[in-house]
Chains A and B, each alone.
Chain A
Amino acid sequence: MENPYLPYPVRIDGIVTETEDRNLKTFKFVFLNPEDEEKFAYTPGQFAELSIAGQGEIPIGIASSPSEKGFVAFTVNKMGRVTTRLHNMKEGDVMGIRGPLGNWYPWEAMEGKNVVIIGGGFAFTTLRSSIIYMLQPENRPKFKDITVVYGARSPGMLLYKDELMAWEKRDDIHMHITVDGTDDPDWKYNVGFVPTITEQKITSAENGIAIVCGPPIMIRFTQPVLEKLGFPPENIILSLENRMKCGIGMCGRCNIGEKFVCKDGPVFSLAQLKELPPDY
């Protein structure tokens, strides 16, 4: 019988420190057994449980896009026991990944629509996966306008800076990069909180679908902006975070209403969330 608790063994293939406070690192993992990469076929929006023997497991959104072959990447914030151990590991170290878990962003529903992506801080990881996926030549025609509002506390806290600059130069995607504040005189982009910049730059909800990923406070202030613009609750997509252990809807920990965040989510539309008790 297949064992959904058994992780695929992986090796750390690359580590990039993303932020100036060194608390966020992107890890590239390579599967030790090549056939596991196929079994791990995933869709942007999903997450995986990163497993370190002797420490534990953590649920982290997948930052790489399925179009990036040969590896899987995760951006991890150093917060507790497992993440601290992970941050102290080096290239070549062995650990495990379980997944892909959870549901994904509603790609079918998004086809033919104007896609608005709003991200804050280090919740941008699955949004990177989504943007790279959408910008693939075979996928780009499926979507109309793509607009991205992404903000962090300061320029040094932005993730994937090189990629952000590269996307900014493209004409098939509108990037609005912002920081809460900066004293860098060479800062070329916006200054302001994500909800404020969203209000300025997103002018229409026509045929639009919005994906919002960020800390609870950012979501709390961005949601009314989108609602005022006329985005219906079915077209505002959020990704919830929760303490998780099994990741497969069995240990009961992430239970909200009749759903499990790890299995029926973590992606939920606002319309779905309104029907659930606010237990998050």
Chain B
Amino acid sequence: MSTKCFSKEEWVGVLEGLKEAYRVFVPVKEGDFHNFRPLENGTRPNFDFQNTRLSAKSLIYPQSERMFEYTVDNQDPEAHKVRETERDYAPQVVVGIRPCDASAFKLVQKNFDNPEYRDPWWVRRYESTTFVGLGCNDPCVTCFCASAGSGPFDPKGLDVLLHDIGEAYVAKALTDKGEALLGKASGGRDASDEEIKKAEGLTRQVAGKITARISTDKLKEKKVTELYAAPFWEEVGFSCINCGTCTYLCPTCWCFDIQDEVQRLEKVGDRMRNWDSCMFPLFTLHTSGHNPRAKKFERVRQRFMHKLKYYVDKYGDGIQCVGCGRCVQFCPVNIDIREVAEKMNAFSSGS
């Protein structure tokens, strides 16, 4: 696999050149924070960020997506039958995604792409996307990726990994898709040994900068029914306001809702898929009025049990979290997943 080097001056030009083969997404500064936007005329890519406010998950899995369309006009012979819609799976590339966010897709993939069912929209868009990750030289003080199964230069989920060595980016292809992208990139040249050494040095240097951590080593051995009945959940859940901030900002949260909408006058409608959150009371409400998670702390418990225990039990791998730290930074009431994990990890039913 090739390793190339692109100078920072030529970098935007390189990205512009990629537009011939791909739809290019770059980080852009909007107000106080960064988000991924398509590279179009007038877009100013800005790589001076620690992480984007919203994760890149909406590039594969939009917050609101049309699943099907239908007509409810009884004069139409096709009325009341839901139909597939035109989709666009043209190749796209996400440039500047952080390794934690990219490795998050691998965790989400277990849900949307499994032996029994494959979500056609998520899978096709994921397969048509090339990820050019930007390793973190300057992780946030809240980043705990290293203890959550990822890391500032984690290659999981990436097709190309960029190391920012100051005046240039060292770009290493990690997959065939990445190799194809580097082949299509104008400019740049093969990275020199010195440049590669600088990149490797960066990886070692930054590893020591991740100080925040999450305790998960004892989660697997805990009995799920005992952890569920633990006494600390009410205390943990007291401050929660049951909004969707943590779930919507999280790159590994994937729950969704299906809603039918109808334009009454035109008699046509869409079956929409929208992001949903286990934090909302409506999430598990039965039509009869029964709600298994009627109390706030029960919903808070569900989120942490799902992320830190149920997922661990189901797949036998790590937790359903990559340590990006967004929930820690942006939870309106400062519920800290690291503290909750510590409580869960240390819990003993005898105590």
Chain A in direct contact with chain B (Cβ < 8 angstroms):
yes
Which chain B residue lies CB-closest to A81? B287
| A interface residue count range (under 10 / 10 to 19 / 20 to 34 / 35 or more) | 35 or more
- Beta-carbon contacts of B260-280 to A below 8 Å, as 1s and 0s? 111000000101000010100
Known: A3-B120, A53-B72. A279 touches B293 (CB 8 A): yes
Task: Report which of A2, A55, A243 forms a contact with B285, defined as CB distance below 8 A.
Answer: A243
Contact A54 B225 (CB under 8 A): no
Cα A51 to Cα B254 in complex, Å, equals 23
Contact A2 B120 (CB under 8 A): yes
Cα A53 to Cα B272 in complex, Å, equals 11
Query: A46 near B: Cβ within 8 Å?
Result: no
Smallest Cβ distance from A197 to chain B, in angstroms? 24
Which chain A residues lie closer than 8 Å to B119 at the CB level? Answer: 4, 250
Cα A251 to Cα B278 in complex, Å, equals 10
| Stretch from B76-84, B158-166, B336-344 forming part of the interface with A | B76-84
Contact A253 B283 (CB under 8 A): yes
- Beta-carbon contacts of A26-60 to B below 8 Å, as 1s and 0s? 00000010000000000000000001111111000
Size of B's binding interface in residues, CB under 8 A: 52
Contact B70 A53 (CB under 8 A): yes
Cα A263 to Cα B114 in complex, Å, equals 12
| Stretch from A89-97, A171-179, A181-189 forming part of the interface with B | A89-97
Query: A7 near B: Cβ within 8 Å?
Result: yes
Known: A53-B72, A56-B260, A257-B310. A1 touches B118 (CB 8 A): yes
Query: B257 near A: Cβ within 8 Å?
Result: yes
Which chain B residues lie closer than 8 Å to A55 at the CB level? Answer: 260
Smallest Cβ distance from B83 to chain A, in angstroms? 9
Query: A18 near B: Cβ within 8 Å?
Result: no
Which chain A residue lies CB-closest to B77? A94
Task: Report which of A53, A216, A246, A251 forms a contact with B82, defined as CB distance below 8 A.
Answer: A53
Q: Can you offer 7 A-B residue contacts whose CB atoms are under 8 A?
A: A1-B120, A53-B82, A79-B287, A241-B286, A253-B276, A276-B224, A279-B298
**Nearest 10 pairs between A and B by C-beta?**
A252-B255, A277-B228, A80-B287, A258-B314, A53-B70, A258-B313, A54-B262, A94-B80, A79-B287, A1-B120
Q: Known contacts A56-B258, A251-B256, A279-B293; can you find 13 more A-B pairs with CB under 8 A? A: A5-B68, A6-B84, A53-B72, A53-B81, A57-B258, A80-B287, A243-B284, A250-B111, A252-B306, A253-B257, A253-B283, A277-B225, A278-B225
